[in-house]
Amino acid sequence: MGAAGGGGRTEQGLLYNSTNQALLGVLPFNEGQPLDVRFSRSGKVLVAAGGHGAKAGSVVLWNVETGERIASIGKEYDAVLTTDLSPDQARVAMGGTDRLVKIYSTKSGEVEHKIKKHTDWVTAVAFSPNGEMLASGDRNGGVSVWDAESGQELFTTVGHKSAVTALSWRSDSKLVASSSEDGNVTLWESSEGKQAKTWAAHKGGVMSVAYSRDGRFVTCGRDGALITWSADGTKQKTMTFGGEMALRCTWADDGGASVVAGDFAGNVWMWDAKSGKQIGSLDLNPKPLAERIAAAKERLAEIEARGDKPSPAVIAITRDMAEVEAALKKARVDADKAQAEFASGAEAVVRLKDVAAKPAPPADIEAQLTAARAAREKARTWRVEATNGVELLVAKIATVRARVEEMKAVNNREAELAKAKAELEKLLQAQQVSKSGVRQQTKR
């Protein structure tokens, strides 16, 4: 199961099935915009932190199975930037712009500890898997570890040269990883606070780091890359977002078989961790459930009435295929022209160099060479752009062709009917989860 905050709209959280990326439910977050969303270690509770900037902030807990709103904790004067729930679900930690780490009791809703140590905004908090420690990081690069029960400081490190963006514990609670805008990932020994290892992971900054249960890592950064690492920090697979800045990443709850990440543009994708192949994506801006249910019912009726004729989707994607093929044909012609132009320019430079090397060359030979070189470089740029354009279209046509074959394979009335009925059933179930969450919030 996966979760996302916002989804193109403030004041809601979205629940997804991580196996098939289907939307399971929408949970209201009327406290404002959710900024940090995570599951409890048991997977039974969803925790979201956020609020309205410079106005109010809090942390909300939901029962994942029922959508019931369990608690709203904290009455901050600014949005809560980061949160975590202790493994026994007895405490919630949060941090924000007030530079404080606060630990609340989930039973009473009262604050147990206010920790004044950080010199800048608290940007990350994380309880250790054994529940005994709490790690925190700030915008100034500092990393500290506290006794979760007493709130006493265990150690503080210089940390990083820039803001800490995420913290993640190894399953045995002996190491905690920190990622930073300085581009590095650092591992800290929880016993004494010593640095166990540090390495440059992403140019421009690391935005997130997450341990898997077997000790591997996944990171993402400003370079638009998602990278998996072995337990000793050896790079394994690199996956890209297509140029957008990656913001958050984690492992799906499937034994470390897949990873999930989101980028600055609001896209969320899943990859197979072993092959690095993209295996799915999430729709973070779904229409209201009532509209989606109505559309699903309309779709079901359309399939029943269409009979054995090709679906509009098959017709449309076949047309798209023809358009992409035409664009590729034109792009190849342009690439050939660009190559010929570059070859001609290169030959002109060589010829003029020969002229310049001979006795008594023309007085303007240097000017001719300068002009020829400029023309050659212009042609080189055109050639690179044209070649890249061809490569993009080749990749696109392969994707569209695969989609055409996939759609043709399932383009039969029985299969489409079964799929449409299953989709409608999932939406109706999601509606029940959402209604449960709304009812609980109204009661409170």
Query: Residue 232 has which token pair?
Result: 């000793």
CA pair distance 78, 63, nearest whole angstrom: 25
A 10 A CB-CB count for 178 gives 27
Assigned architecture for domain 2-285? 7 Propeller (2.130)
**Could you give the strand order of the β-sheet that contains 217-221, starting from the edge strand earlier in sequence?**
206-211, 217-221, 225-229, 235-240
Asked if residues 83 and 61 have their Cβ atoms less than 8 Å apart, the reply is no
| 355 Cβ neighbours under 8 A, 6+ residues apart | 361, 362, 365
**pTM, two decimal places:** 0.68
Q: Tens-of-pLDDT digits for all 444 residues of the chain?
A: 555 554 444 577 888 888 878 777 788 888 999 999 999 999 999 999 999 999 999 999 999 888 889 999 999 999 999 999 999 999 999 999 999 999 999 999 999 999 999 999 999 999 999 999 999 999 999 999 999 999 999 999 988 999 999 999 999 999 999 999 999 999 999 998 999 999 999 999 999 999 999 999 999 999 999 999 999 999 999 998 776 788 999 999 888 899 999 988 888 999 999 999 999 888 777 777 788 888 889 888 887 887 767 677 777 888 888 888 899 999 999 999 999 999 998 999 999 999 888 888 888 989 998 998 999 999 999 999 999 989 888 888 888 888 877 776 666 667 778 888 888 887 787 777 666 544 444 444
Q: Which of 43, 147, 131 is nearest to 87 (CA)?
A: 131
Query: Residue 240 has which token pair?
Result: 């890209």
Q: Which of 427, 315, 313 is nearest to 22 (CA)?
A: 427
CA pair distance 85, 99, nearest whole angstrom: 19
CA pair distance 115, 118, nearest whole angstrom: 8
